[in-house]
A and B are shown apart, each in its own frame.
Chain A
């Protein structure tokens, strides 16, 4: 398959993730959507890596996986902390800071 197809898929995944961030109020799901966006980037990186015959893209993709894991860890930690504080697990109710 031409590389372009992979890229289209990656773009679609990126945008689905973006749409999820916009539409879902649950921070857990938002984190999942962020994973989607990062994975889209991974797919693109791997595709480009294949296109150029250059493994830097794969290295980059692995690094992105690490980063994704880190973000998830911290994000989940925050969600747990919020839960422990008996606050709503809903980003729409966390808006004391505004204006």
Chain B
């Protein structure tokens, strides 16, 4: 029974993972990940990690993925264009991943640990239950628990700093004047040296009006 469940769940998890990678539309990628996470939760359950499984479904597949969906919706979940660079990576990347997988499997299965071929340690009552986990979090792992809370706070601050709405801006026409690094010509920026993408102000004539225009725009914007 558990074997069947294992196979179903793991095939689901792998399929979800592949879906995340292969699907062109980010929206479907997110949905695919949700599927993957739920299958993973099933695997957790098989491994007697009840609390982890629950957290996985509730917090992860639930809350975090919703955030994803919102962002995808915000920036538009269009299909990504065919990339002009990194063509080689499209082929080589998966091959590498495959090689790495083989390597990891050799490492995991080649170990001398006997437990690897067993079904795990004898089941102890309460293993993986919220109560046990909670107790650990308040005793042995009190410090990580507290730090994790700080970490979440940091992430929240970070999100605020990065994505906070700037007041008075029309939503779609936000065009912040950036403070450009106007470099005189031939100062040897790498972009210039590479000749691929001339940076700002490589042409002084072109950059001059832009500079002059910058304060004017800001004052007229009436922010």
Contact = CB atoms under 8 A, between A and B. Distances in A.
A15 B104 contact: yes
A45 to B, nearest CB: 9
Report whether over half of chain A's contact residues are helix, strand or loop; otherwise say mixed. Answer: helix
Contact of A36 (B6, B20, B43, B89): B20
B205 interface: no
Contacts of A70: 151-152, 154-155, 158
Contact of A74 (B2, B121, B162, B199): B162
Contacts of B159: 73-74, 76-77
B33 A32 contact: yes
Contacts, number: 267
B120 A11 contact: no
Interface string B30-63: 1001001100100110111101100110011001
Contacts of A33: 20-21
Interface in A36-88: 36, 39, 42-43, 46-47, 49-56, 58-59, 61-63, 65-74, 76-81, 83-86
A33 B84 CA distance: 21
Interface in A2-31: 2-9, 11-20, 22-26, 28-29
B18 interface: yes
